[in-house]
Structure 1
Amino acid sequence: MFHFKKDTKSLLARVIILTLTLIFLYLPIMTLVVYSFNASKMVTVWTEFSLKWYNALFHNSAIITAVGISLLLAFLSAIASVIIGTLAAFVMVRIRKFSGESAFLLFMTAPMILPEVISGLALLLLFVTLGDLIPVFSDRGLITIWIAHVTFCSAYATVVIRSRFVELDISIEEAAKDLGAGPMKVFFVIILPAIMPAEVAAFLLSFTMSMDDLVITSFVAGPNSTTLPMLIFSSVRRGLSPEINALASVIVLVVSLFAFVSWILTVRKQKRKARNAALVAAARRREAAIHIS
Structure 2
Amino acid sequence: MNLRRFPATREVSIAVLAFLYIPVVVLTAYSFNANRTATVWTHASFDWYARILTNPSIQAATWNSIVLATAASIAATGIALMAALATRRAFPGRSTTESVLNLPLILPEIVVAVATLLLFVSLGISLGLGAMILAHTAFCIPFAYLPIRARLDGLSGSYEEAAQDLYANRFRTFRRVTMPLLWPGVMAGFTLAFVTSLDDFLTSFFLSGPGTTTLPVYIFSAIRAGITPEINAISTVMLLISILLVSLSFFLGRLRR
Return the letter of the residue paired with 1:76.
A
Correspondence for 1:193: 180
Distance 1:101 1:50, change over 3 A: closer
1:127 and 1:259 map into 2 onto residues whose CA distance is: 31
Greater displacement, 246-255 / 201-210 = 246-255
Shift of 1:232: 0.8
> Which protein is bigger by CA-based radius of gyration?
1
Correspondence for 1:111: 104
Select 2:44's aligned residue among 35, 46, 49. Answer: 49
Distance 1:79 1:180, change over 3 A: same
Select 1:61's aligned residue among 40, 56, 59. Answer: 56
- The answer to whether the 8 Å contact 2:144/2:193 transfers is yes
2:242 and 2:99 map into 1 onto residues whose CA distance is: 34
Select 1:250's aligned residue among 218, 237, 253. Answer: 237
> Percent identity between the aligned chains?
39
Greater displacement, 50-59 / 163-172 = 50-59
Correspondence for 1:129: 122
Note the alpha carbon deviations across 1:171-198, whole angstroms, 9 max, x for none. 2211211110111111111111112121
- The answer to whether the 8 Å contact 2:192/2:245 transfers is no
Shift of 1:256: 5.9
In the alignment, structure 2 segments of 5+ residues that lack a partner are: 1-7
Shift of 1:107: 2.8
1:254 and 1:104 map into 2 onto residues whose CA distance is: 33
Correspondence for 1:28: 23
RMSD of Structure 2 on Structure 1 (CA): 3.0
Shift of 1:113: 1.9
TM-score by length of 2: 0.83
Note the alpha carbon deviations across 1:217-238, whole angstroms, 9 max, x for none. 2222213211111111122233
Q: Which SS does the other structure have where 1:93 is aligned?
A: coil
Select 2:75's aligned residue among 69, 73, 80. Answer: 80
Greater displacement, 143-152 / 58-67 = 58-67
TM-score by length of 1: 0.74
When the two structures are aligned, how many residues end up with a matched partner?
Answer: 248
Distance 1:123 1:19, change over 3 A: closer
Shift of 1:51: 2.9
1:177 pairs with 2:170 = no
1:105 and 1:217 map into 2 onto residues whose CA distance is: 26
Question: Which structure has more helix as a fraction of its residues?
Answer: 1
